[in-house]
Chains A and B, each alone.
Chain A
Amino acid sequence: GENVEQHPSTLSVQEGDSAVIKCTYSDSASNYFPWYKQELGKGPQLIIDIRSNVGEKKDQRIAVTLNKTAKHFSLHITETQPEDSAVYFCAASMGSTLTFGKGTMLLVSP
Protein backbone atom coordinates (compact mmCIF):
# COMPACT_ATOMS: atom_id res chain seq x y z
CA GLY A 1 0.00 0.00 0.00
CA GLU A 2 0.86 3.68 -0.06
CA ASN A 3 3.28 5.09 2.52
CA VAL A 4 3.64 8.81 3.18
CA GLU A 5 6.58 10.27 5.08
CA GLN A 6 6.36 13.82 6.43
CA HIS A 7 9.10 16.09 7.78
CA PRO A 8 9.74 17.85 10.04
CA SER A 9 7.56 16.69 12.91
CA THR A 10 7.87 20.10 14.58
CA LEU A 11 8.67 23.46 13.02
CA SER A 12 9.12 26.71 14.92
CA VAL A 13 9.33 30.01 13.04
CA GLN A 14 9.10 33.70 13.80
CA GLU A 15 6.11 35.64 12.57
CA GLY A 16 6.73 36.81 9.02
CA ASP A 17 9.13 33.99 8.17
CA SER A 18 8.37 31.26 5.64
CA ALA A 19 7.64 27.66 6.58
CA VAL A 20 8.20 24.59 4.41
CA ILE A 21 6.88 21.11 5.11
CA LYS A 22 7.94 18.18 2.95
CA CYS A 23 6.32 14.84 2.16
CA THR A 24 7.34 11.82 0.14
CA TYR A 25 5.09 9.04 -1.12
CA SER A 26 5.85 5.53 -2.23
CA ASP A 27 3.22 4.61 -4.84
CA SER A 28 3.78 6.20 -8.23
CA ALA A 29 0.08 5.61 -9.02
CA SER A 30 -0.97 8.24 -6.46
CA ASN A 31 -2.33 11.26 -8.26
CA TYR A 32 -4.01 13.50 -5.70
CA PHE A 33 -2.21 15.29 -2.86
CA PRO A 34 -4.18 17.40 -0.36
CA TRP A 35 -2.88 19.32 2.64
CA TYR A 36 -4.89 19.71 5.82
CA LYS A 37 -4.60 22.04 8.81
CA GLN A 38 -5.83 20.74 12.15
CA GLU A 39 -6.31 23.01 15.12
CA LEU A 40 -6.52 21.63 18.63
CA GLY A 41 -9.76 19.77 19.25
CA LYS A 42 -10.98 20.29 15.68
CA GLY A 43 -11.22 18.21 12.54
CA PRO A 44 -8.76 18.67 9.66
CA GLN A 45 -9.47 21.54 7.29
CA LEU A 46 -8.48 21.28 3.63
CA ILE A 47 -6.19 24.20 2.82
CA ILE A 48 -4.85 23.32 -0.63
CA ASP A 49 -4.56 20.33 -2.92
CA ILE A 50 -2.76 19.41 -6.10
CA ARG A 51 -3.25 16.79 -8.78
CA SER A 52 -0.49 14.93 -10.56
CA ASN A 53 -0.94 16.80 -13.84
CA VAL A 54 0.15 20.04 -12.15
CA GLY A 55 3.57 20.93 -10.74
CA GLU A 56 2.66 23.88 -8.57
CA LYS A 57 -0.42 25.56 -7.14
CA LYS A 58 -0.72 28.76 -5.15
CA ASP A 59 -3.45 30.30 -3.04
CA GLN A 60 -2.47 33.60 -1.45
CA ARG A 61 0.23 32.81 1.16
CA ILE A 62 0.07 29.07 0.61
CA ALA A 63 1.66 27.10 -2.21
CA VAL A 64 2.20 23.44 -2.94
CA THR A 65 4.79 21.93 -5.28
CA LEU A 66 4.84 18.41 -6.67
CA ASN A 67 7.75 16.46 -8.13
CA LYS A 68 6.32 13.26 -9.58
CA THR A 69 9.68 11.89 -10.62
CA ALA A 70 11.07 12.14 -7.12
CA LYS A 71 7.70 11.35 -5.56
CA HIS A 72 7.70 14.25 -3.19
CA PHE A 73 5.54 17.29 -2.57
CA SER A 74 5.90 20.31 -0.32
CA LEU A 75 3.77 22.93 1.40
CA HIS A 76 5.08 26.48 1.49
CA ILE A 77 3.60 29.12 3.76
CA THR A 78 4.92 32.66 3.37
CA GLU A 79 4.59 35.58 5.77
CA THR A 80 3.55 33.29 8.60
CA GLN A 81 1.17 34.58 11.26
CA PRO A 82 0.45 33.29 14.78
CA GLU A 83 -2.91 31.98 13.58
CA ASP A 84 -1.04 29.64 11.21
CA SER A 85 0.04 27.67 14.29
CA ALA A 86 -1.53 24.21 14.01
CA VAL A 87 -0.75 20.65 12.95
CA TYR A 88 -0.45 20.20 9.20
CA PHE A 89 -1.00 16.86 7.48
CA CYS A 90 -0.10 15.89 3.94
CA ALA A 91 -1.88 13.03 2.23
CA ALA A 92 -1.72 11.01 -0.98
CA SER A 93 -4.47 9.24 -2.87
CA MET A 94 -4.97 7.23 -6.03
CA GLY A 95 -8.66 6.60 -5.62
CA SER A 96 -10.96 7.55 -2.81
CA THR A 97 -8.76 6.56 0.12
CA LEU A 98 -6.28 9.03 1.62
CA THR A 99 -3.00 7.98 3.21
CA PHE A 100 -1.85 10.61 5.68
CA GLY A 101 1.59 11.64 6.82
CA LYS A 102 2.26 11.77 10.56
CA GLY A 103 1.81 15.52 10.77
CA THR A 104 3.91 18.62 11.42
CA MET A 105 3.27 20.87 14.38
CA LEU A 106 3.91 24.42 13.21
CA LEU A 107 4.52 27.03 15.91
CA VAL A 108 4.61 30.68 14.82
CA SER A 109 5.96 33.02 17.49
CA PRO A 110 4.90 36.69 17.49
Chain B
Amino acid sequence: EAQVTQNPRYLITVTGKKLTVTCSQNMNHEYMSWYRQDPGLGLRQIYYSMNVEVTDKGDVPEGYKVSRKEKRNFPLILESPSPNQTSLYFCASSSRGPSSYGYTFGSGTRLTVV
Protein backbone atom coordinates (compact mmCIF):
# COMPACT_ATOMS: atom_id res chain seq x y z
CA GLU B 1 0.00 0.00 0.00
CA ALA B 2 1.30 3.44 -0.97
CA GLN B 3 1.74 5.47 2.15
CA VAL B 4 3.66 7.93 4.24
CA THR B 5 4.53 6.55 7.66
CA GLN B 6 5.30 8.74 10.64
CA ASN B 7 6.49 7.66 14.03
CA PRO B 8 5.63 8.09 16.78
CA ARG B 9 1.93 9.01 16.61
CA TYR B 10 2.00 10.57 20.05
CA LEU B 11 4.92 11.96 22.02
CA ILE B 12 5.20 13.81 25.30
CA THR B 13 8.62 15.18 26.12
CA VAL B 14 10.30 17.72 28.35
CA THR B 15 11.80 21.04 27.37
CA GLY B 16 15.30 20.71 25.97
CA LYS B 17 15.34 16.97 25.37
CA LYS B 18 16.31 16.29 21.76
CA LEU B 19 13.86 14.25 19.74
CA THR B 20 13.39 12.95 16.22
CA VAL B 21 10.16 12.27 14.40
CA THR B 22 10.65 9.83 11.56
CA CYS B 23 8.95 9.93 8.19
CA SER B 24 9.18 7.34 5.46
CA GLN B 25 7.40 7.01 2.11
CA ASN B 26 7.24 3.97 -0.17
CA MET B 27 6.20 5.71 -3.39
CA ASN B 28 9.63 6.80 -4.63
CA HIS B 29 8.53 10.41 -4.33
CA GLU B 30 11.14 13.10 -4.85
CA TYR B 31 9.46 15.85 -2.89
CA MET B 32 8.88 15.68 0.86
CA SER B 33 7.73 18.24 3.35
CA TRP B 34 6.99 18.79 7.03
CA TYR B 35 4.02 20.81 8.27
CA ARG B 36 2.74 21.76 11.66
CA GLN B 37 -0.95 22.23 12.31
CA ASP B 38 -2.18 24.59 15.03
CA PRO B 39 -5.75 25.64 15.81
CA GLY B 40 -6.78 28.70 13.83
CA LEU B 41 -3.55 28.73 11.86
CA GLY B 42 -4.05 25.83 9.48
CA LEU B 43 -0.97 24.05 8.20
CA ARG B 44 2.34 25.83 8.02
CA GLN B 45 5.36 24.45 6.22
CA ILE B 46 8.47 23.85 8.33
CA TYR B 47 10.96 22.41 5.83
CA TYR B 48 10.85 20.74 2.48
CA SER B 49 13.13 18.65 0.32
CA MET B 50 13.11 18.44 -3.45
CA ASN B 51 15.40 15.41 -3.55
CA VAL B 52 18.20 13.63 -1.73
CA GLU B 53 20.56 16.05 -0.02
CA VAL B 54 18.40 19.03 -1.08
CA THR B 55 16.47 20.72 1.71
CA ASP B 56 15.13 24.22 2.25
CA LYS B 57 13.27 26.25 4.81
CA GLY B 58 9.55 26.70 4.76
CA ASP B 59 7.60 29.36 6.58
CA VAL B 60 8.35 28.35 10.19
CA PRO B 61 11.78 26.62 10.31
CA GLU B 62 13.06 28.04 13.61
CA GLY B 63 13.87 25.35 16.14
CA TYR B 64 13.77 22.48 13.64
CA LYS B 65 16.27 20.55 11.54
CA VAL B 66 15.81 18.02 8.78
CA SER B 67 17.95 15.73 6.68
CA ARG B 68 17.40 13.82 3.44
CA LYS B 69 20.11 11.19 3.11
CA GLU B 70 17.84 8.69 1.39
CA LYS B 71 14.96 9.30 -0.93
CA ARG B 72 12.39 7.52 1.23
CA ASN B 73 13.23 9.10 4.61
CA PHE B 74 12.85 12.66 5.85
CA PRO B 75 13.23 12.90 9.64
CA LEU B 76 12.32 16.02 11.61
CA ILE B 77 14.71 16.87 14.44
CA LEU B 78 14.01 19.11 17.40
CA GLU B 79 17.38 19.74 19.02
CA SER B 80 16.00 21.55 22.06
CA PRO B 81 12.20 21.40 22.11
CA SER B 82 10.23 24.19 23.73
CA PRO B 83 6.57 24.35 24.76
CA ASN B 84 5.71 26.53 21.72
CA GLN B 85 6.57 23.53 19.56
CA THR B 86 3.64 21.62 21.00
CA SER B 87 1.65 20.90 17.88
CA LEU B 88 0.37 18.32 15.43
CA TYR B 89 3.00 17.51 12.83
CA PHE B 90 2.48 16.07 9.37
CA CYS B 91 4.93 14.69 6.89
CA ALA B 92 3.88 14.74 3.25
CA SER B 93 5.32 13.61 -0.05
CA SER B 94 4.70 14.34 -3.71
CA SER B 95 6.00 12.70 -6.87
CA ARG B 96 7.37 15.82 -8.51
CA GLY B 97 5.99 18.79 -6.69
CA PRO B 98 2.77 19.50 -4.84
CA SER B 99 1.68 22.27 -7.16
CA SER B 100 0.56 19.85 -9.84
CA TYR B 101 0.32 16.54 -8.06
CA GLY B 102 -0.82 17.41 -4.55
CA TYR B 103 0.46 15.72 -1.43
CA THR B 104 0.15 12.35 0.22
CA PHE B 105 0.10 12.90 3.97
CA GLY B 106 1.14 10.78 6.90
CA SER B 107 -1.23 10.22 9.82
CA GLY B 108 0.40 12.84 11.99
CA THR B 109 2.46 13.08 15.18
CA ARG B 110 0.96 14.85 18.15
CA LEU B 111 3.81 16.35 20.14
CA THR B 112 3.49 17.83 23.60
CA VAL B 113 6.45 19.62 25.14
CA VAL B 114 6.16 20.28 28.89
Q: Do A and B come from one complex?
A: no
Give the interface of B toward A (CB within 8 A). Answer: none
Taking Cβ atoms with an 8 Å cutoff, the residues of A that contact B are none
